[in-house]
Amino acid sequence: MVSVHLVNPSDNSFGTAVITPRWLFVLAAATPSAAGDPILVDESLEQIVPESIMPGDIVGISVHTGNALRGYQVGRIARSRGAWVVYGGIHATLFPEEAFDRGEAHAVVKGDGDIAWGKVVTDCLAGTPGKIYDGGRIDGSQFLAARWDLMPRDKYMWASVQTIRGCPKHCSFCSVWRTDGQQPRQRKFQSVIDEIVNLRQIGFRFIALADDNFYPVTLTDLRLAREQNNVAKLEELTAIRSERFQLMAELAKLPKDMVFFTQITMEAGEDGEYLDAMRKANIKGALVGVEAVTPEGLKAVFKDFNYSGEALAKQLQTFKKHGVHVLGSFIFGLPTDKPATFDATVEMALKAGVTFAQFVMMTPFPGTIDFGRWEKEQAKAPTLVGDVPITRYWLIPTEVRPKMFTPHPSMSSGEISERTQKVWDRFYNWGAIWQRSACTPTLRARVAFMFLSKLYRQMYAGTGISTDSARRKKSKTWARWTAKQCRKLFQAKPMPELRSPAWDLAFSSNNLRRPAFLSAPRSLPHPSTSSPNPEKSQSHKLNRIFLVDLQASADRPCRLESTTVIRLSRMPRPTSSQARIERSRGRSGLRAAQGRSGRPGSTLPVPGAE
């Protein structure tokens, strides 16, 4: 019987993860039934065992810039063991040749992987893989549903569901609008609700809506369409906005103990109606890209539609007044930053009542405007680290990789790094966390808030994860213990009796592939003696499929994607022999639908209701 292994690679394993790597479970559904049910390995939990890879296996590796080096290592290991090696993800989409040169790829998938992955697997099983597969940008009706039946339920705090891909903005530091497009691709709200109901059935009440931008249509967009008398555009935008409200209305009907978290732009603060709908839908929090607190800083990142100064504090407070907690994301190292910017930023975050915050150092990610500008400048006089150009910093070993890559006009990278860590320390000191934890309704929730705040700071701020191995080991040990305690606080009693609504209208598409969980699993006979092998013929070995993705961080969580579940009425809770459910947060190449924000640690759950 064929074994399918989906592996999510990461340099750091903590035993417990905050959010499910959605693409992993989506690509499980995208895997042809002829390959069998997949076995999942998430390296953010535990490292892969190389000996589990056999000759003739298929290893799919989804890479983004932050984990490309580890991804290439996994690929080389897989190929040395006689497996087919296939890369995808946002980084492989942007640099396909690098995957061949550094990762010993047999094939690369560019764009969405929901549909393309099935063809890759079929071709590999036949021994005839192509070199480049272009998955393109599929329509929302083609998003695959994830196979949550394969998830280890005692390892994750939050599940993840994607409702939309693409972002209409054009921030200079973010690649999403270039790789996923500026046209929102929206999934039917009925399939989203079906998926969420299934997750609650199996015991998940905390769910991240892992979207590029949950607020795809602003009031300004509508006003401009009216002023321009652009009837077609106005109808399109109104339809997108209407479906957002339909989704939130259905979310509001779900069990009241459910808590959702998502990602939106600052402009949502002007839309009280939308924020109220989010609150009623139990969307308790959202990552909001603040980026900078000064007009000069906002202009530098093409985000001058954001407010600054007192107006910024007031708008951030608006979210909270409407019942939506904010994870504010701030960038340090912009050309306009000065030493005083650091204190001003953390004071603004505290004053505005931001519930969580992340403070990241400016990094030029491939596919962004910032990267293109920097690469052009470096071409004149390339900077090398060893024999690697600084513009390929992801190929530099982590122990010697610089903390910053673009020179700052007035501060050294060391000074910026040190000041950034002090901001993290100040925002996440115990006293400040305790004050912010008052937003939770119970003592249990308050304890969860305290633990999660410290865990988030530990995992994403980088302090302790230094090149000193002893310090790194100590940091990982502490993070493992904290993560394990946090997970217990997020556990919920399964609700197998919960059912989805009986939808009035059919919303399935004829071009949708049949979700894997609706097909009875079948076993395969032993491969014949003529069964192809990429390195050498060992026909007695069974083919296995390894989908290897890397823990999302930095530039965009890569997606290896899957199917969207389409039902007219709720099916009984799936048994182990049949149903899977869900869809995925994705990105490029072998990309599942996972949300990406172009910034590290882009999603964080806010402990809300008890």
Give the model confidence (pLDDT) of 569-589 as tens digits: 333 333 333 333 233 333 333
Choose between 170 and 555: higher pLDDT. Answer: 170
Average pLDDT of span 328-339: 90
Q: pLDDT by residue (tens digit) across 245-287? A: 999 999 999 999 999 999 999 999 999 999 999 999 999 999 9
Q: Are residues 165 and 74 in the same domain?
A: no
Q: Are residues 342 and 395 in the same domain?
A: yes
Residue 20 is part of which domain span?
Answer: 3-141+513-549
- Confirm whether 589 is domain-assigned: no
Note the pLDDT of residue 546: 42
Cα–Cα distance, 130 to 133 (Å, whole number): 7
Q: What is the CATH number of the domain that holds 465?
A: 3.80.30.20
Q: Are residues 404 and 527 in the same domain?
A: no
* Average pLDDT across the chain, whole number: 79
Choose between 44 and 324: higher pLDDT. Answer: 324
Q: Are residues 119 and 154 in the same domain?
A: no
Q: pLDDT by residue (tens digit) across 466-504? A: 333 333 555 567 777 777 777 777 888 999 999 999 887
Lowest mean pLDDT among 273-282, 289-298, 513-522, 563-572: 563-572
Burial 545-579 (b: 16+ CB within 10 A, else e): bbbbbbbbbbbbbbbbbbbbbbbbebbebbeeeeb
On the question of pLDDT at 593 being above 50, the answer is no
- Confirm whether 590 is domain-assigned: no
Q: pLDDT by residue (tens digit) across 206-217? A: 999 999 899 999
- Confirm whether 328 is domain-assigned: yes
Note the pLDDT of residue 577: 31
Q: Are residues 423 and 520 in the same domain?
A: no
Q: Tell me which DSSP letter residue 304 carries.
A: T
3-state secondary structure of 517: helix
Q: Tell me which DSSP letter residue 285 carries.
A: E
Cα–Cα distance, 118 to 234 (Å, whole number): 37
Give the dihedral sign, CA 389/394/399/405.
Answer: positive
Mention every residue, 6+ apart, whose C-beta is less than 8 A from residue 565: 145, 191, 194, 195, 198, 515, 517, 581, 582, 583
Number of domains in the chain: 2
Q: Are residues 462 and 411 in the same domain?
A: yes
Query: Residues 113, 592: contact at Cβ < 8 Å?
Result: yes
Q: Where are the beta strands (DSSP E) in 366-495?
A: 384-385, 388-389
Q: What are phi and psi of 173, to 5 degrees?
A: -95, -5
Choose between 558 and 350: higher pLDDT. Answer: 350
The number of beta carbons lying within 10 Å of the beta carbon of residue 581 is 30
Q: Are residues 7 and 85 in the same domain?
A: yes
Note the pLDDT of residue 475: 58
Note the pLDDT of residue 528: 34
Query: Residues 558, 135: contact at Cβ < 8 Å?
Result: no
Q: Are residues 133 and 237 in the same domain?
A: no
- Confirm whether 53 is domain-assigned: yes
Q: Are residues 167 and 133 in the same domain?
A: no
On the question of pLDDT at 174 being above 90, the answer is no
Nearest alpha carbon to residue 327 among 303, 353, 302, 351: 353
- Confirm whether 402 is domain-assigned: yes
Lowest mean pLDDT among 139-153, 210-224, 285-299: 285-299
Identify the helix (H) or strand (E) that includes residue 310: helix 309-321
Q: Are residues 237 and 136 in the same domain?
A: no
Q: What are phi and psi of 469, to 5 degrees?
A: -65, -35
Q: pLDDT by residue (tens digit) across 424-469? A: 999 999 999 999 999 888 888 888 889 888 888 877 765 333 333 3
Residue 3's pLDDT band (cuts 50, 70, 90) = confident
**Helix (H), strand (E) counts: the chain:** 18, 18
Note the pLDDT of residue 484: 77
Q: Where are the beta strands (DSSP E) in 43-175?
A: 58-62, 84-88, 107-111, 132-136, 156-161, 164-165
